[in-house]
Amino acid sequence: MASEQWTPGGAHVPVLLDRVTSLLAPALESPGSVVVDATLGLGGHAEAVLQRCPAAQLIGLDRDPKALDEAQRRLGAFGDRVTTVNAVYDEIGDVLAERGIERIHGVLFDLGVSSLQLDETERGFSYAHDAPLDMRMNQEGGGRTAADVLNTYDARTLARVLRIYGEERYASRIATAIARQRKNQPFETTGQLVEVVRAAIPAPARRTGGHPAKRTFQALRIEVNGELSTLERALPGAVDALAVGGRAVVLSYHSLEDRIVKRLFAARAASTAPPGLPVELPEHRPVARLLAKGEVPDEAEIETNPRAASARLRALERVRTHGEERP
């Protein structure tokens, strides 16, 4: 979850808050309606939805136990209207099945890294502070760290990760420099990585486009946490779990994330009738309609919360299931 600007004990500023709540609210008017916040984070969006939709029950998922602790404190006033679960968002199906829930009425994904994770320097997500190269969103869950990736991937594989996930123009140069450097000393800290990346990028390129290590850090974070593959597994199931009239809202912060969302939403909103069929049969009708197609924050919001600058919002409404269709 990348949209909340966080300071310990301070304000939480979720991106596109009013738009997110206004999109979800029409589906959450009936008593017992269920909304899933698949990336609960610090609970900013969840709090606003619960305030605006007093009939709704919320299930909040997050893989980061520290974020869950913060969210639980924030949402404590809502009592038993809130259930929090330490889970990755591709586990939505299991979470619902364990609670006997067949259909939900809303689902929100706020993708990427949270401000809590960025601002806790010891997590290793930030290139602005020297810290251990970790980057795991759940440090209690085991798994490889960014240091493991840097020290064990061959240069060709590492270059592919940087090129695809970071859209890094100089991926091969950086990967070669990393492979050369680790022969002398394994990578352990973010400061080591920043120095190598900065030296590998030509001087003219370092003067434009922000911090030279920004794309490398993004790529490593996505690789360590399996973010894109997790989204590809999670999103279809979440949309298919929606009741007729239910709504899905997704905030993405990376072009590859947004592409996955755009394609899935477009497929659900398209007819499956074979070309040339004279009459569209009921089973070929779209199962959803698009509500938002890549909306972005306005300049005022970006000025207030610069981390929202890359956000893209997409939303759809379920209009048909196998046994029910919206009039």
Binding annotation: 43-45, 62, 89, 110, 117
Query: Residue 110 carries which side chain, given as an amino acid letter?
Result: D
**Which residues belong to the annotated binding site for S-adenosyl-L-methionine?**
43-45, 62, 89, 110, 117
What angle separates helix 255-268 from helix 227-240, to the nearest 10 degrees?
A: 20
Strand locations in the chain, DSSP E? 34-37, 57-62, 82-86, 104-110, 242-252, 288-295, 312-318
Cβ neighbours of 54 (radius 10 Å): 11
Residue 140 three-state SS: coil
**If you write DSSP's letter for every residue of 199-224 in order, what string do you get?**
HHS-HHHHTSSS-TTHHHHHHHHHHH
Encoded tokens for 49? 């939805």
Rg for the chain (alpha carbons), in Å? 21
For residues 283 and 213, give the distance between their C-alpha atoms in angstroms, rounded to a whole number: 49
Greatest distance between any 2 Cα atoms in the chain:
69
Contact, 94 vs 88, CB < 8 A? Answer: no
Q: Cα(87)–Cα(33) distance, rounded to whole angstroms?
A: 21
What is the spatial distance between Cα 43 and Cα 223, in angstroms, rounded to a whole number?
25
Task: Please list, in sequence order, all residues whose beta carbon lies within 8 angstroms of the beta carbon of residue 105, skipping any fewer than 6 positions away.
Answer: 27, 28, 30, 33, 34, 35, 56, 242, 243, 245, 246, 247
Q: Which amino acid is at 244?
A: V
